[in-house]
Each structure stands twice: as C-alpha cells, then as structure tokens.
C-alpha cells in the first residue's frame, strides 16, 4: 500500500494524463466508426475527468478563495463549452494536451525536489557520541558543539567538525565535488554527509545540525524553488488580469455575432470557445519557469547552487567579475616561509607570542602561524582578551602585555630594519604581517598557493565575453599583483577594508551595470551583498559569506563560474525564444479565429502545441551539463 502511495505521489499526474489519452483515443475510434454515441460520449467523459479534474479543482478553488480566474479554469470551461454543443472530441483533445503540458511542466519542479531529497538523504539520522567512559547513539539533531562523535569505517560523517583522533580517506564528493577520496588526519576539517573510508575517526563537532555546510546547501536549494524572478512575477500578474479579459472577449464573441451579424447561437458559441482556447496565455505562462527550474537542477548537479531562479537570470547578464584573492583565487591555506626578528629579538619567542594571539582566530593567516609554531615546537603560551579587526589584524593580552599581529597601523613604531625586511618580502609577492606590542619586533612572511584552475577560469570568462576581471584583497600590493598577473586580471586593488571593496564594486556597477563578486570571507560579505550577483565558496567559505551570497560553489571550484555564467546565458536565450514563440502563436491563432479560419481542434493543437513546445524547450536545459 505504501509503495502504491509513493508511486501515485511521484507519478499521479502522468498516470491520469495517460488514462485521459487512452479514453480519448477509444472515444474517437468509436465515434469515427459510427458506434453508439452514448458509448463514445461516455469514453470522452472519462477522459475529461481523468485529465481535467486537477485543473478543475485548482481553478475553482482559486476562483472561490482568492477571487482570481486562471488559465486552468479557462481550459476546463472551454472544454465543457465544446462538449455542450456536441464537440466532445474537440474538448477532450483540449483536456488531454493541456494535462500533458502540465505534466511536463511539473517535471522540472519534481527534478529539483528530488535534488533536495537526495541531499537530505546524505545526512545520517543518528550518531555515536562519546559520553563519559562509554558510547551512546543519539539523533543527529541532538548533537552539540564540542561533542566527540565516533565514525566507524564506511559510515557517513554526521556533523561538521575537526578530527581529534585517527586518519582516513574521506569521500567528500557530495560536498566539495572532489572526484577521489582525500586523506584526512588530526586537525583537518570534515563535513556532514561525507563518507569515511577505512580508518576510524573521532571528530569534535564544530557546528550544530542546522548550521552544517550540508544543511545550508539544502536550505539554499529550497529557497531557490520558492523564489520567483521579477519577469516571472510580472507574467503571473499579467496572466491574472489577462484571463479576465479573455473571458470578456469570449462573451463578446457570443453576443456580437448573434445580434450584429445574425449568427446562430451554436456557431457563435463555437467560435467563442475557440477564442477562449487560443487567446489563453498558457504558453506564455510556461515560457519561463520550466527553463529556470531546469537550470536550477542542472546547476545543483554540477556543484553550483542558485539561491533563487532570479539569480540564474541575473548571472546571464554579468559583464564584469571581481574576485577576492585569499581563499578564492588562492587556496586560502598560506604557510609561513620566513620569520624575521628585530634587533635582539628571539625568533622562536616571537612565533610563540604570535601563535598565542592567533590561537582562536579563524583567519587563514592565523591558522598558518599557529601551525608553524607547532611545527617548530615553540613554547605554548595562553592569551586573553582576543580581538580581531577585520582587514587589519588581531590583538590579545600575552604575559600581561598587549600584543598585535597584523598591518603597520597597529603599531606606533616600526624599526627601519623591519621596514626593509617587510619591503623585501612584499616585493617578492609574499604576504607579510608585523608582530609586537606598541613597537613591532618582527615580521612573518607567508605565501599562499594559487588554485590550479584559477587562470583557466579567467581565460574561460574572457572567451565568454566578460569585459573586465578585477582582483580585490585586503592583502598588500605586491602579493595581490603577483596573483592578478598569474590569472590575467585587468585590475587589482589591494589593502582594502570591507567598505573599500563595496566602494570599488559600486564603481564597477556604474561602469558595467551588472557585476558578479566571488569571495569566501567575512570581509567579502558587504561586497557580495552589493554586487548584482554574489558568489560564495561553499566548502571553505565563512557562514556570513554563504548566507550573504546569491550563488554557492559547493566544491570551492572557481572553474565552475564560467559554466554558471554560460548556463545563465543559455537560460536567458531559451526564455526569450519561448516568449517570442508563445506570443507569435497566440496572435496568429486569435487573428485566424477572428477571421473564422480555424476550427477548435486546430486551435487546441496550435495553442497547446505551443505550450508543449515552450515547456520542452525549457526542459532541454536539464541535458546541457557541464563538459
């Protein structure tokens, strides 16, 4: 019974459409061969009910509850009207083709819904938690930050967290899109929904169930289904007004020929039913959403999550792209390559104090300094009163003194020797931070790694006709120029605070009209919100960036940005083609009806045929996968 209910839920509309088709065909054959008229009428009537009951219920409910007339009810009324004057087959054909177009239109929405269900199935229902001396199975929703979960070989990881014990190959394809499992060990971050390999792991939970990367991905797909782009909202509003005009036009089609031209009621009614069919905006209504939903599904299967169909449309119009540097064009995992101490300074002690300041920082530079201190076995010092200044650096109290790690403005004095060392390292393209109390006592040089496909992504954007590529970063000028040159950017802006990035994005908007910004950090969030389209790195991005962005790259793969822009452009082309086809066919059919040159079956085939055509045209975006 449950299996039948599941089949009906998933395929009920297709089943009723098929039943409608069978009875319409049998009714036509009986009527053609001169069989009993009652039999053919009964067969047509069953076809009417099977194919039209959904639309009749939905249209009547909308009329009674919301006081709105929609095309569903118009089609049912036209079919009943045709039957009322003896044109049973004509009305039944209308019901069947209308039901078929509705079934196909629902396919794209169902495909996106299946994407959500497949994502939700990635998350296990329960987790094994270390509680006291023993283990306990608890629901994943009951996990708290700081819990230690035990993941056995072959199990799915139940929460985002950091490995505290063990090492294993982890299949992260569901989150990051990596084709092969990656080695994960103590200190590495892992994600909910990924699959553990052959090693046992103990993982400290870093985020509650509702805030994991996987949970945010599911929320983004759901949000995408619910949003409507402005053009679609306009069409839906137009459709409601236009439906009333069509009814008025049908009434006039009955009255004017009878009283002014001397037509019989049957002839006038028939012509009015043809008008009701051919003038209805079904094809126009179906010209956008199947295409947009297909694009959403296509993107989700290729690691690009649109938070709404409006952003598919917006991305197709982008003329300039601005990239954050660290964590976007680069891997965001810099490593310390040199520590230079001032006169009389102990390099290892400087590293210890710097690591103390950065111990709880989430910034990649801080993590690199802590990792280097650990690698050199520097003394571990505890700090207090940590404070981070976005785009500048971090401060904390260490051994009773206030210590800073960051840019020169954090220090009242920077000795000449350290200024020279900083200049030398920055000229080589390294990121350099100063370390000290009120006076800088040393510099730390770090170097990030360019993402393997960053330059290819920019070249692909050029081929798509993107006019301007910009690099925006809070980092210093020299490393920013090295990265910009390596990827082939047109322009670079370094040493930026978050509001500086906003200012530059506003300038780009003034010049190009439509701009995409790609970033991953807290300091990118204002620029992401300001851009026409904000794109966040999904796996490595901060919560703020993910929440602010309009599009999320699940695999942190900038190479998917050209694909996403191309998908947006293809979607816009398909929508424009669909609108032209829908309007052209509708105008031609109405004109033919006014001249009395079209029958109801021909009107049904022409009108519903155009609806089917634009629906199938939209669904073809499901097949245009990333090469």
395: Cα separation from own chain's centroid: 37
DSSP one-letter code for 328: I
Length of the chain: 627
C-alpha angle 362-368-374 in degrees, rounded to nearest 5: 110
Decide: 65 and 57 in contact? Cβ < 8 Å: no
Q: What is the largest CA-CA distance in the chain?
A: 111
Decide: 48 and 79 in contact? Cβ < 8 Å: yes
Decide: 6 and 12 in contact? Cβ < 8 Å: no
**Among the options 160, 324, 524, 593, which is catalytic?**
324
Active site residue 437: no
Spell out a b/e string for 485-502, using b for 16 or more CB atoms within 10 Å of the CB, else e.
eebebeebbbebebebbb
Percentages helix, strand, coil for the chain (3-state, rounded to 5) are 55, 20, 25
CA 108 – CA 287 distance, rounded (Å):
13
φ/ψ bin of 401: left (φ > 0), alpha (ψ from -120 to 50), beta (otherwise): beta
Cβ count within 10 A of residue 3 = 7
3-state per-residue secondary structure call for 439-494 = EEEEEEEEECCECCCHHHHHHHHHHCCCCEEEEECCCCHHHHHHHHHHHCCCEEEC
The packing angle between helices 560-594 and 600-619, to 10°, is 170
H or E element, residue 570: helix 560-594
Q: CA dist 135 to 127, 132, 157, 190, 614, Å?
A: 10, 8, 16, 21, 57
Q: How many CA atoms lie within 13 A of 233 on its CB side?
A: 7
Paired residues of 405 in beta bridges: 394, 435
Cβ count within 10 A of residue 411 = 20
CA 54 – CA 49 distance, rounded (Å):
9
H or E element, residue 442: strand 440-447
Q: CA dist 380 to 309, 374, 384, 403, 483, Å?
A: 50, 8, 13, 15, 34
CA 538 – CA 74 distance, rounded (Å):
45
Nearest to 154 by CA among 183, 196, 118: 196
Nearest to 92 by CA among 27, 13, 12: 27
Number of H helices, E strands in the chain: 21, 22
DSSP one-letter code for 329: I
CA 465 – CA 565 distance, rounded (Å):
11
Query: Edge to edge, what strands does the sheet with 551-553 contain?
Result: 304-306, 551-553, 533-537, 515-519, 320-324, 468-472, 491-493
Catalytic residues: 324
């Amino acid at each position: 019974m449950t299996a039948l209910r599941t089949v009906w839920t998933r395929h009920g509309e297709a089943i009723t459409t098929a039943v409608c088709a069978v009875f319409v065909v049998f009714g036509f054959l009986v009527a053609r061969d001169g069989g009993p008229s009652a039999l053919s009428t009964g067969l047509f009537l069953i076809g009417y009910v099977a194919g039209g009951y959904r639309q009749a219920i939905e249209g009547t409910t909308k009329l009674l509850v919301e006081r709105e007339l929609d095309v569903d009810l118009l089609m049912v009324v036209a079919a009943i009207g045709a039957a009322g004057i003896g044109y049973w087959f004509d009305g039944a054909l209308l019901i069947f083709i209308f039901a078929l177009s509705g079934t196909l239109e629902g396919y794209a929405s169902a495909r996106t819904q299946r994407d959500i269900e497949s994502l939700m199935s990635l998350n296990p229902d329960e987790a094994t938690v270390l509680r006291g001396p023993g283990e306990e199975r608890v629901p994943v929703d009951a996990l708290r930050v700081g819990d230690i979960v035990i993941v056995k070989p072959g199990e799915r990881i139940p929460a985002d967290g950091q490995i505290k014990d063990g090492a294993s190959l982890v299949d992260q394809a569901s989150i990051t899109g990596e084709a092969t499992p990656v080695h994960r060990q103590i200190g590495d971050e892992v994600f909910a929904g990924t699959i553990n390999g052959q090693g046992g792991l103990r993982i400290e939970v870093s985020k509650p169930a509702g805030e994991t990367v996987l949970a945010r991905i599911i929320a983004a797909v759901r949000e995408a289904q619910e949003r409507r782009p402005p053009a679609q909202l306009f069409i839906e509003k137009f459709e409601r007004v236009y439906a009333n005009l069509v009814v008025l036009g049908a009434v006039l089609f009955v009255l004017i020929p009878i009283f002014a031209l001397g037509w019989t009621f049957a002839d006038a009614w028939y012509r009015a039913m043809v008008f009701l069919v051919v003038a209805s905006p079904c094809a126009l209504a179906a010209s956008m959403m199947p295409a947009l939903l297909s694009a959403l599904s296509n993107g989700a299967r290729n690691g690009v999550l649109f938070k709404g169909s409006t952003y598919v449309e917006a991305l197709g119009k982008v003329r300039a792209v601005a990239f954050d540097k660290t964590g976007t064009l680069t891997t965001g995992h810099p490593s310390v390559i040199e520590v230079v101490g001032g006169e009389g300074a102990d390099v290892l002690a400087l590293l210890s104090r710097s690591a103390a300041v950065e111990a709880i920082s989430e910034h990649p530079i801080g993590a690199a300094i802590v990792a280097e201190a650990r690698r050199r076995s520097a003394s571990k010092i505890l700090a207090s009163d940590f404070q981070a200044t976005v785009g500048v650096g971090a401060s904390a109290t260490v051994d009773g003194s206030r210590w800073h790690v960051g840019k020169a403005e954090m220090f009242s004095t920077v000795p000449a020797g350290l200024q020279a060392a900083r200049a030398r390292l920055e000229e080589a393209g390294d990121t350099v931070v100063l370390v000290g109390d009120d006076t800088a006592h040393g510099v730390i040089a770090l170097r990030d790694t360019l993402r393997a496909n960053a330059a290819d992504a920019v070249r692909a954007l050029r081929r798509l006709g993107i006019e301007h590529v910009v690099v925006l970063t809070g980092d210093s000028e020299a490393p920013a120029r090295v990265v910009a040159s390596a990827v082939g950017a047109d322009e670079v802006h370094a040493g930026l605070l978050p509001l500086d990035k906003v200012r530059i994005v506003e300038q780009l908007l003034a010049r190009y009209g439509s701009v995409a910004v790609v970033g991953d950090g807290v300091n990118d969030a204002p620029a992401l919100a300001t851009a026409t389209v904000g794109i966040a790195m999904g796996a490595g991005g901060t919560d703020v960036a993910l929440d602010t962005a309009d599009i999320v790259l699940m695999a942190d793969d900038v190479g998917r940005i050209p694909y996403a822009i191309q998908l947006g452009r293809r979607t816009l082309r398909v929508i424009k083609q669909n609108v032209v086809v829908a309007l052209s066919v509708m105008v031609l059919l109405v004109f033919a009806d006014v001249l009395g040159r079209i029958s109801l079956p021909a009107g049904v085939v022409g009108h519903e045929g155009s609806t089917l055509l634009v629906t199938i045209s939209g669904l073809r975006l499901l097949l245009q996968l990333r090469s």
